[in-house]
């Protein structure tokens, strides 16, 4: 007998909806949002001008193929635009890639403290998530390869990872890829790649050129400061692009986003300024927080993960409440299996200094 109401697929009901970083701090005079890894520099002024200009033609459908944006990205990175697909944020693309390659009975692999969207995308596609332990809050290639089974269709790695800020050097990414069967899709989520200034890191685009089963995703939400407009892009083999193009929304990137994205990708000075700001203040924050006796995981992204004792009055929850009361909104990361840590986005000078001052008071016990 048919049920008397609609019944979602069982894997859909296993999903816990993603909870974004808090934006408010009730009672605080002024709020500094350091909970969603947004850039303190804002978008390029050229992107803002292009966005305003787009207001003149809102009645028109956008170019569903995002051709000019793909060409602009291709020029910036020396890539074939045919191998690029744009999405409504890279979250859109992570879902589309999972839907294209994972189905009932298939498995998708990601790591213990990996980005939560992978779990959601795998379950939404009908697959089963397989969560792999990490070592020192870093993806462990041997453990990932050991978890791969004949049912594995996809492996997601954020490199650098959010919320830990740790990364895999290119040699480890190659070793991971070499251990996967050629039909298993390896998604390299490079949302923070532009921020990384390590010699042993690579942006993965060359690797994706050489291997049909590697897909690299990028976003305009982080270093380009266009999170509100929702623009992401994926670079991969034509087989992957073709699959995603079949199932994506026909106009998944809106017209204003296309124009702003084209302007943003061309503003290299703005990106370089963001990298310089981030390098300076991330090292400052890491040093200052460590000096307070709190453990900080070394980060290559635009955020730092700090760890608190699991003791009443000194815990991450207590620190979060203490900071929030002063309008300093950080991110709790219990949902990532890190109940004793807080993630802080590298902000502008003022909030960075305010957080360190507040943490100094907190640690000294001046509650």
Ligand X SMILES: *Cc1c(COP(=O)(O)O)cnc(C)c1O
In the complex, the residues that contact ligand X under the rule CB under 6 A are 37, 89-91, 115, 158, 162, 189, 191, 219, 221-222, 227, 232
Q: Which is nearer to ligand X, 305 or 359 (CB)?
A: 305
Q: Which is nearer to ligand X, 205 or 359 (CB)?
A: 205
- Min dist CB 218 to ligand X, Å, is 8
- Min dist CB 236 to ligand X, Å, is 16
- Min dist CB 29 to ligand X, Å, is 28
- Min dist CB 97 to ligand X, Å, is 12
* Helix, strand or coil, per DSSP, at residue 350: helix
- Min dist CB 155 to ligand X, Å, is 14
Q: Which is nearer to ligand X, 74 or 89 (CB)?
A: 89
**H or E stretch including 110?**
strand 107-111
Of 84, 114, 150, 128, which is closest to residue 335 (Cα–Cα)?
Answer: 114
The two three-digit tokens of residue 365, written as one number: 């016990």
- Min dist CB 114 to ligand X, Å, is 8
Q: Which single residue brings its beta carbon nearest to ligand X?
A: 89
Q: Which is nearer to ligand X, 70 or 222 (CB)?
A: 222
Q: Which is nearer to ligand X, 184 or 257 (CB)?
A: 257
Q: Which is nearer to ligand X, 90 or 111 (CB)?
A: 90
CB within 8 Å of 247: residues ≥ 6 apart: 96, 99, 100
Contact 233, 88 (CB under 8 A): no
- Min dist CB 122 to ligand X, Å, is 15
C-alpha distances (whole Å) from 228 to each of 70, 96, 275, 278, 351 are 20, 20, 20, 21, 21
Contact 173, 207 (CB under 8 A): yes
Pairing mode, strands 128-132 and 107-111? parallel
Q: Which is nearer to ligand X, 271 or 354 (CB)?
A: 271
| Alpha-carbon gap, residue 365 to 367, rounded angstroms | 5
- Min dist CB 363 to ligand X, Å, is 28
CB within 8 Å of 7: residues ≥ 6 apart: none
| Alpha-carbon gap, residue 230 to 356, rounded angstroms | 32
Q: Which is nearer to ligand X, 260 or 354 (CB)?
A: 260
| Alpha-carbon gap, residue 268 to 224, rounded angstroms | 10
What 8-state DSSP symbol labels residue 160? S
The two three-digit tokens of residue 183, written as one number: 């039909």
């Amino acid at each position: 007998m048919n049920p008397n109401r609609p019944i979602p697929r069982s894997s859909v009901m296993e999903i816990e909806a993603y909870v974004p970083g808090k934006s408010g701090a009730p009672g605080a005079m002024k709020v500094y949002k350091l909970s969603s890894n947004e850039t303190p520099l804002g978008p390029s002024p050229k992107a803002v001008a292009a966005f305003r200009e787009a207001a003149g033609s809102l009645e028109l459908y956008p170019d569903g193929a995002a051709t000019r944006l793909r060409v602009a990205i291709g020029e910036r990175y020396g890539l074939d635009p045919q191998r690029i697909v744009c999405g409504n944020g890279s979250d859109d693309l992570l879902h589309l890639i999972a839907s294209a390659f994972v189905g009932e009975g298939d498995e998708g692999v990601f790591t213990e403290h990996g980005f939560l969207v992978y779990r959601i995308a795998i379950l939404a596609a009908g697959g089963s998530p397989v969560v792999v332990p990490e070592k020192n809050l870093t993806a462990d290639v041997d453990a990932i390869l050991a978890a791969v089974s004949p049912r594995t269709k996809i492996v997601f790695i954020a490199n650098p990872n959010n919320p830990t800020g740790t990364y895999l050097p290119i040699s480890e990414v190659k070793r991971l890829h070499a251990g996967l069967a050629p039909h298993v899709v390896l998604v390299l989520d490079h949302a923070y790649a532009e921020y990384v200034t390590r010699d042993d890191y690579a942006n993965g685009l060359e690797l994706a050129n050489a291997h049909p089963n590697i897909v690299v995703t990028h976003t305009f939400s982080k270093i380009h400061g266009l999170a509100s407009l929702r623009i992401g892009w994926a670079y991969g083999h034509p087989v992957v692009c073709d699959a995603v193009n079949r199932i994506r929304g026909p106009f998944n990137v809106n017209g204003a986003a296309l124009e702003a994205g084209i302007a943003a990708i061309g503003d290299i000075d703005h990106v370089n300024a963001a990298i310089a700001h981030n390098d300076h203040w991330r090292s400052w924050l890491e040093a200052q927080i460590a000096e307070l006796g709190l453990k900080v995981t070394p980060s290559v992204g635009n955020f730092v993960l700090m760890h608190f004792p699991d003791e009443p009055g000194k815990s991450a929850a207590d620190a979060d409440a203490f900071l929030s009361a002063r309008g300093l909104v950080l991110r709790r990361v219990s949902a990532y299996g890190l109940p004793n840590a807080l993630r802080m986005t590298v902000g502008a000078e003022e909030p960075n200094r305010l957080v360190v001052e507040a943490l100094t008071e907190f640690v000294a016990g001046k509650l």
